[in-house]
Amino acid sequence: MFRYPVLSYLFLATITMAAPVDFAEDVKPLLNKHCVGCHGGVKRASGLSLLSFEQATGKAKSGLAAIVPNQPMESEMMLRIRSQDEDERMPPADHGPALTESEQKLLSQWIKEGATWKKHWAFEAPQRDKARDAESRIDPLVQVSLAKEGMALTSPASPAELLRRVTLDLTGLPPTPEELAAFAKAPTSKDAYQTVVERLLESKHFGERWASLWMDVARYADSEGLGVDRSRTVWKYRDWLIDAFNNDKPYDDFIVEQLAGDLLPNPTMGQRLATAFHRLTQSNNEGGTDDEEFRVLAVMDRVSTTWEALQGVTFGCVQCHSHPYDDFQHEDYYSFMAFFNNTADADVGEELPKLRVPLDKTHETKAAEIISERGVLNEAIYKASSDLIAKTPWQNATFSSAKSSSGTGVEIVDDEFRATGNMAKGTTFTLNLEAPPGLSEVSAFRIDLLPQDPDTAKHTPEWGSVLSRIKLDQRLPGSDAHSEITLSEVIADEPEPFYDPNESLKKGSKGAGPYSKQFHERHCIVILKEPLKIVDNIALRLHLTHDVFALGAFPLVTKRGKVSFTDSSAWEGFLDSPGIASKRNKLASLRKAEKEIKAISIPILHERPAHLRRDTHMFERGNWLTKGKLVEPNVPGSFPPLADDGPHDRLALAKWVASPENPLTARVMVNRLWEQLFGRGLVLTLEDFGSAGDKPTHPDLLDHLAIRFQRDHAWSVKSLLKEIVLSETYQQTSRVKPEAYSNDPSNAKLARGPRQRMTAEMVRDHALAISGLFSPQLHGPPVYPPLPKGVWTPFSGEKWKTAKPNESERYRRSLYVFMKRSIPFPMFATFDAPSREICQQRRLPSNTPLQSLTLLNDEAFDECAKALGKRIDAKEGDLKAKLTHGYLLATSHPPEATALNELERLYKRMRDTEKASHDEALNVVASVLINLDAALTK
């Protein structure tokens, strides 16, 4: 029941407006502000959601439609918004204030005009302006927006200011005095600057600087994260990034290879290695943790990171409910998750599967061939064995009795043996088997390992089992002794299991069986070396030993099993049959060839075989233990569809992200690069291009650059960066008058050049570079520069092997520093570097006393100061010349006379008042230089 506020309504309805109301600009923000908290993706109060036209114009629980297009008076929403009755009015008083008159007018007018629902700008592909997008329009577009405010670009930066900025921006290192001198001397022409830019883009340090950025996005770390936070060897991926940027790998390939390089035809080593991107998720090896829980967490992180890093959309919330503001349905999350739910990794302690990556790059082609070839051979052998398994008549064994070596019980139920009671580690089941009737000999037997609840296990697996040892023995009639029967081979039910099934025949805990969790009914075949004659009254005993004790908490003991026999002669000759023997020989020679290549093993993505596919279900209320509806892999309905040829797999998804039709991919990357150069994205919220994020300050410019990036630059990051740094906008001076500054503190309008404190990595690299300590070496394992005392107390006990003074490892670039998530490098953390647990899109720069203490007192910076002091001293000339050189090294500018005086005064004060030696005095001066504001900014 409601009352019609007729009078005021009629009055307002007669007001006409000039231009049609813009949904995205005017209406959506109002809905987000006042309505969708309750009538959105999360709550849908009274059955109403205002997230799409269909939902808003459909009937709510009351049977009424909130919005009736063209009919504001019929629209329940308007009536409720305008209601004078406190019980009727929306939003209710305790939820928020009533809409203002003008807000009401807007909504009413919009409904009157048809309530057209436009997609949020970022979800529509940018449109190419054919006539004008062929060349760079950065400056005209910036100028147009400035002109609207009566502003203009400011003057160009001085050569020194510009060279410092562009050198640090493109390579992360400062220009040398020689480079500064040459550039200052060069005629001020576009050509001279362009030459510099081209030189910097070709610098080998370019890749290091941009890899640093991507390492935040990819949550790169040299440790596992949660739980014990053990070390993780994955640095080859970091080197892959450096090379990708140095070689200007097109951004679309860059994406496809990281998401699904393993699924490309005949993947190269690099393409396989790139998939380590999504193995940088945290894993948990704390005792008593559930591998499946943390596998699922890792998969969900892959979903969130894919969206945040590549699409600039926060997707994590859709895990529990539909998106509160944007048109993503709850189910979209799980359909998307299904793309990632079938990789083989499963939070097992060994971080399997791993890729052997040669230490020497020249061996990569050979090593990649070996992997591909081995895959084909294993697949063929698996195919042949599974065909044979299917054809083989298996005769179920009957158990006469069974016993267990541990507190775990074992019972016989029909043709199964079952574990009972508590699972104990080191359990061996001894199964007494009756001679299979009708068989005169046995050539092989089969062990089936069954989940306790097969239907549930398909999506929520049980702890698996590993047959650490399989032994069969016989006692012949009339004999007291059991004699062991020689077993020759164990064949698994998948082409490339984590553990070699033949380990079941050797000492050690590994072996056949589902490790560590079990989704499906599994089996393995054991072939006898020689067929076993079945004589009357033969006694057979099968021993199954389970020694794997996962996470110090879960003994991986077979819960339900069956045994069956065959006399099929096909198994006798199987290994030696021509098709198989040659493949096995080939595999042996590949193994040998592989061993000869020195390599390290890196966790990567690898798809599980089709028959072991995991079902993906929705989680009820985000809880992984409560599964809802079964879903298939797909992309959200509000986006362009997947290419319709081929399977909906990770590769299809990767290509979808990297396609020109995707509205977000190019914009997000363009914005990211822009933010690195200007300190502020065209969309401020790099992490959120959705309707709750900030609107672009220069929408036309963003779209222009996105189009240019995709089309004209063919996804070349270097070309795009070149276009930006060659713009006048970029080349402006950052000097600013106080009024202009307060007018636009974050430089959103771009009326001056960018000026920012350098990133944590740059601050350190800069100090190393100006002091002359810097080691320019590229690539390689993580390095261990000095760490303040008392910081390194790792839970997992590993050592921090500090490189000694004068060892080059001590002075390597920051991106090589060992990155442990639970103990981030203090200097980086102090300068706002994230600890890389999750994808981080931008760093919020801070300015704190702890930064000052680090730069003044930290051992590493003190070492830089001493080295810089010596370097200054080595400069020919008098004290003034030396100090001038120091200032130039630190700031890229020669000092003004007043600054030089200040430095000189400090030096003299050290000598005269403090009685410091010449070296000590220069050391103090050098420390001041390293700490200068002008030395910390770019």
Partner 1 sequence: MTDFSKALAHHHRGLLESTTRRHFLRDCSSGMGALWLASQAQGKEATAIHHDSFDPLSTLAAPLKGKVKRVIYLHMIGAPSQLELFDYKPELNRFDGKSCPQEYIEGKRFAFIRGVPQMLGHQYPFAQHGQCGHWISDRMPHLQRHADDMCFIKTMTTEQFNHGPAQLMVHTGNAGLGKPSIGSWVTWGLGTENQSLPGFIVLISGGRLPRVGKSLWGSGFLPSVYQGVQCRSVGDPVLNIRNPEGVSQSMRRAALDALGNLNEMTHASVGDPETVTRIAQYEMAFRMQMSAPEVMDISSEPTAVQEAYGTTPGKESFANNCLLARRLAESGVRYIQLFDWGWDTHGSSKSESLNFGFKDKCRQTDQPISALLTDLKQRGLLEDTLVVWGGEFGRTPMQENRGGGSMSFIGRDHNPNASTLWMAGAGIKPGFSYGETDALGYESAVNPVPLRNFHATLMHLLGFDHEKLNFPFQGLAQKLTGVKHAKVVKDVLA
Q: Which of residues 418-447 bind partner 1 (CB under 8 A)?
A: 421-425
Concatenating the DSSP letter of every residue in 535-599 gives -TT-EEEEEEEE--EETTTEE---SEEEEEEE--HHHHTTTTSHHHHHHHHHHHHHHHHHHHS-E
CB of 676 to partner 1, least distance (A): 16
Ranges within 757-776 binding partner 1 (CB under 8 A):
757
**Is the Cβ of residue 360 or residue 453 nearer to partner 1 in the bound state?**
453
- Distance (Å, rounded) from C-alpha 197 to C-alpha 611? 53
- Candidates 245, 195, 237; CA nearest to 220 is 237
Applying CB under 8 A, among 207, 571, 928, 938 the residue interacting with partner 1 is 928
Ranges within 270-329 binding partner 1 (CB under 8 A):
282, 284, 286-290, 297, 314, 316-317, 320, 324-325
The one segment of 118-126, 504-512, 526-534, 917-925 that binds partner 1 by CB under 8 A: 917-925
**Is the Cβ of residue 294 or residue 334 nearer to partner 1 in the bound state?**
294
In which residue are the tokens 């809905």 written? 31
CB of 745 to partner 1, least distance (A): 6
Ranges within 638-657 binding partner 1 (CB under 8 A):
none
CB of 784 to partner 1, least distance (A): 17
Ranges within 528-557 binding partner 1 (CB under 8 A):
549, 552-553, 555
**Is the Cβ of residue 229 or residue 364 nearer to partner 1 in the bound state?**
229
Buried b (16+ CB within 10 A) or exposed e, 241-274: bbbbbbebbbbbbbbbbbbbbbbbeebbbbbbbb
- Which amino acid would we find at residue 397? A
Q: How many residues form the binding site for partner 1 (CB under 8 A)?
A: 118
CB of 664 to partner 1, least distance (A): 15
CB of 197 to partner 1, least distance (A): 23
- Measured CA distances, 601 to 102, 233, 627 (Å): 64, 7, 35
**Is the Cβ of residue 1 or residue 844 nearer to partner 1 in the bound state?**
844
**Is the Cβ of residue 580 or residue 921 nearer to partner 1 in the bound state?**
921
CB of 261 to partner 1, least distance (A): 27
- Measured CA distances, 887 to 184, 504, 588, 756, 902 (Å): 17, 69, 63, 19, 11
- Distance (Å, rounded) from C-alpha 712 to C-alpha 709? 6
Applying CB under 8 A, among 407, 579, 637, 805 the residue interacting with partner 1 is 407
Contact assessment for residue 822 and residue 837, using Cβ atoms and an 8 Å cutoff? no
Ranges within 854-913 binding partner 1 (CB under 8 A):
854, 856-859, 862, 865, 896, 898-899, 902-903, 905-906, 909-910, 913
- Distance (Å, rounded) from C-alpha 120 to C-alpha 124? 7
**Is the Cβ of residue 295 or residue 608 nearer to partner 1 in the bound state?**
295
- Candidates 305, 380, 370, 431; CA nearest to 841 is 305
CB of 525 to partner 1, least distance (A): 29
- Distance (Å, rounded) from C-alpha 707 to C-alpha 722? 15
By the rule CB under 8 A, 918 interacts with partner 1: no
Ranges within 91-150 binding partner 1 (CB under 8 A):
91, 94-96
- Percent helix, percent strand, percent coil in the chain, to nearest 5: 45, 15, 45
- Candidates 222, 217, 218; CA nearest to 234 is 222
Pull the structure tokens for residue 327: 């048109």
- Distance (Å, rounded) from C-alpha 102 to C-alpha 85? 20
**Is the Cβ of residue 383 or residue 909 nearer to partner 1 in the bound state?**
909
CB of 846 to partner 1, least distance (A): 5
Applying CB under 8 A, among 208, 327, 687, 723 the residue interacting with partner 1 is 687
**Is the Cβ of residue 145 or residue 246 nearer to partner 1 in the bound state?**
145
Cis peptide bond N-terminal to 92, omega within 30: no
Ranges within 585-644 binding partner 1 (CB under 8 A):
none
**Is the Cβ of residue 311 or residue 474 nearer to partner 1 in the bound state?**
311
The one segment of 357-365, 429-437, 680-688, 775-783 that binds partner 1 by CB under 8 A: 680-688
Number of Cβ within a 10 Å radius of residue 629: 11
The one segment of 20-28, 198-206, 641-649, 684-692 that binds partner 1 by CB under 8 A: 684-692
- Distance (Å, rounded) from C-alpha 678 to C-alpha 671? 10
Name, in order, each residue with C-beta under 8 angstroms of 26's C-beta and a sequence gap of 6 or more.
Answer: 106, 110
**Is the Cβ of residue 433 or residue 827 nearer to partner 1 in the bound state?**
827
- Candidates 222, 308, 310, 328; CA nearest to 259 is 310
- Which amino acid would we find at residue 30? L
CB of 901 to partner 1, least distance (A): 10
Ranges within 73-92 binding partner 1 (CB under 8 A):
91
Cα angle for residues 346, 644, 664 (degrees, 5° grid): 75
- Candidates 348, 302, 172, 306; CA nearest to 246 is 172
Concatenating the DSSP letter of every residue in 842-905 gives -------HHHHHHHHH-HHHHHHHHHHHHHHHHSSS-HHHHHHHHHHHHHSSPPPHHHHHHHHH
Q: What single DSSP character describes residue 908?
A: H
By the rule CB under 8 A, 330 interacts with partner 1: no
**Is the Cβ of residue 37 or residue 781 nearer to partner 1 in the bound state?**
37
Enumerate helices (H) and strands (E) in the chain, giving the number of each: 33, 20
Ranges within 30-59 binding partner 1 (CB under 8 A):
32-34, 37-38
**Is the Cβ of residue 139 or residue 920 nearer to partner 1 in the bound state?**
920
**Bridge-based pairing state of the strands 560-566 and 441-450:** antiparallel
Ranges within 715-744 binding partner 1 (CB under 8 A):
734-738, 741-742
Ranges within 784-843 binding partner 1 (CB under 8 A):
788-791, 793-795, 821-824, 826, 829-830, 832, 835, 837-838
**Bridge-based pairing state of the strands 483-484 and 539-546:** unpaired
CB of 55 to partner 1, least distance (A): 19
Q: What single DSSP character describes residue 99?
A: P
Ranges within 691-710 binding partner 1 (CB under 8 A):
692-695
Applying CB under 8 A, among 408, 474, 566, 884 the residue interacting with partner 1 is 408
CB of 151 to partner 1, least distance (A): 16
Contact assessment for residue 313 and residue 689, using Cβ atoms and an 8 Å cutoff? yes
**Is the Cβ of residue 206 or residue 861 nearer to partner 1 in the bound state?**
861
Ranges within 204-243 binding partner 1 (CB under 8 A):
225-229
CB of 426 to partner 1, least distance (A): 8
Concatenating the DSSP letter of every residue in 370-435 gives HHHHHHHHHHHHHHHHHHHHHHS--EE--EEEEEESSSSEEEEETTEEEEESS--TTEEEEEEEPP
CB of 46 to partner 1, least distance (A): 15
- Which amino acid would we find at residue 132? R
Applying CB under 8 A, among 194, 646, 848, 918 the residue interacting with partner 1 is 848
**Is the Cβ of residue 288 or residue 776 nearer to partner 1 in the bound state?**
288
Burial class (CB in 10 A: 0-12, 13-18, 19+), 305: buried
Burial class (CB in 10 A: 0-12, 13-18, 19+), 39: buried
CB of 468 to partner 1, least distance (A): 15
**Is the Cβ of residue 124 or residue 896 nearer to partner 1 in the bound state?**
896
By the rule CB under 8 A, 406 interacts with partner 1: yes
Applying CB under 8 A, among 523, 708, 755, 882 the residue interacting with partner 1 is 755
Pull the structure tokens for residue 670: 């363009």
CB of 372 to partner 1, least distance (A): 37
